[in-house]
Structure 1
Amino acid sequence: MRRVRLANRWQPYRWELHEVVPHEEAFGSEPRRIFGDDHEERWLHPGYRVELYADDAEGYYLNATVDTPCWFVLWRMEEAATVAEEPIARPEVVTVSYHDAGRWLDAQENVEQVPAPAEVVAWFREFADAHYVPEPRRRKRPESFRRLEDRFGNPASVSTGKKYGGGEGGGGG
């Protein structure tokens, strides 16, 4: 995660996703500051695992078939400072599923994306190809075959005969 200083007195900085990298044992298990100067800080958050599930194969397929497949990261601000002088942004979940990212965005969570490397894309694309079965397209019935309903959803009928008014030559009006 990266904290970038802003030229704004109301909001002196903002947090954003910088990158997702493969885990290495040397990273340890706790978040730590790996870079800092007057303009930005970068924090390493090790130990996130990305797992693929057959029931989300469509989400991986959708990601794999766009121009720039990516990682999606849901992150939240700490409630209280734990490893720094003030609260920091912490990733909660890392995924490659469009469906997961969409649900999180619908819930108004902080979700950001960065491009995924080719070997990661090949990994989840292969999984999606093995598990994703597109739903067959259903033929849409022409509107002329649609059942008539009134505005309350009750069956409606159409007649061509006159229901009100006088007969032929009856006048009255």
Structure 2
Amino acid sequence: MKSSGRSQSLPVGVVLRRAPGVTRWAKWAWTVAGVLPGAGKADWRMLRSEGDVTEYHAFTGTVHLHATETEAYMVALNDTPPSLYVIMRREGTGDSPLSLVTVTASPYDAQDYADSGEEVVEKVPMPDGFAAWVEAFCDAHHVEHEFKKRRRDRSRVDLVEDGVGDARIVQTTDVYRSPRSARQGRLN
């Protein structure tokens, strides 16, 4: 575990499960089976195999906690069960088709990755010891901010009609009509 004032980080191993696909178009279905807090380096090391289902310690990432993001971590802790988010990218169809982008305890960051549609975002239950570490970090660094409603300014912007319509039209009846070209004017 690394700590520097207002941030901390911890390595986390990601366990991927490979099972037979349920359609004829997908030979394998890959899911995140769990995480291993404090894990060492991994490079698709097989952990267990039962029949066609195999689990791999595929990669090790680092979860970084920052004091400015404690609100997001508290949302993850209050989820049932508390959750981590593993973000991966598809890298082909071989024996290791996924690569790790990041592991985060922030559901807000996970939502940003999910919105792009480029990455695979998996929600994983947070181990109890890991949840205690995140909770202790939040207790030490969280600051409640009072909600301040933004007020509109009182200036009236509807009194001036600058830029309404086309300046080349001299009539006042229909300012939104497009101007006639010189050729159209001769034909009428």
TM-score over 0.5 (shorter chain) = yes
The 3 A distance-change label for structure 1 pair 33 and 70 is: same
Match status 1:20 vs 2:35: yes
Cα RMSD, aligned residues only: 2.7
Deviation at 1:146, TM superposition (A): 8.5
Identity %: 27
Cα displacement (A) at 1:22: 2.2
Where does the alignment leave 5 or more consecutive residues of structure 2 unmatched?
1-15, 160-188
Q: Is the 8 A contact 1:23 1:47 kept in 2?
A: no
Partner secondary structure for residue 68 of structure 1 = coil
Give the counterpart of 1:92 among 84, 101, 104: 101
Which residue, 53, 66, 80 being the options, matches 1:67?
80
**What's the CA shift string for 1:68-88, capped at 9, x where partnerless?**
21111001223474xxxx343
Residues 44 and 96 in structure 2, CA contact (< 8 A), matched pair in contact too: no
SS at match of 1:18: strand
Task: Give the partner amino acid of 2:111.
Answer: G
What TM-score, normalized to structure 2? 0.64
Q: Which residue of 1 aligns with 2:138?
A: 128
Change (3 A) 1:139 1:92: closer
Deviation at 1:106, TM superposition (A): 1.4
Residues 24, 147 of structure 1: alpha-carbon distance in 2 compared, 3 angstrom cutoff? closer
Q: Aligned runs of 1:160-171 on 2, under 5 Å?
A: none
Query: Which whole-Å CA distance do the structure 2 matches of 1:70 and 1:52 have between them?
Result: 14
2:90 corresponds in structure 1 to 77
The structure, 1 or 2, with the larger RCO (C-alpha pairs under 8 Å, 6+ apart) is 1
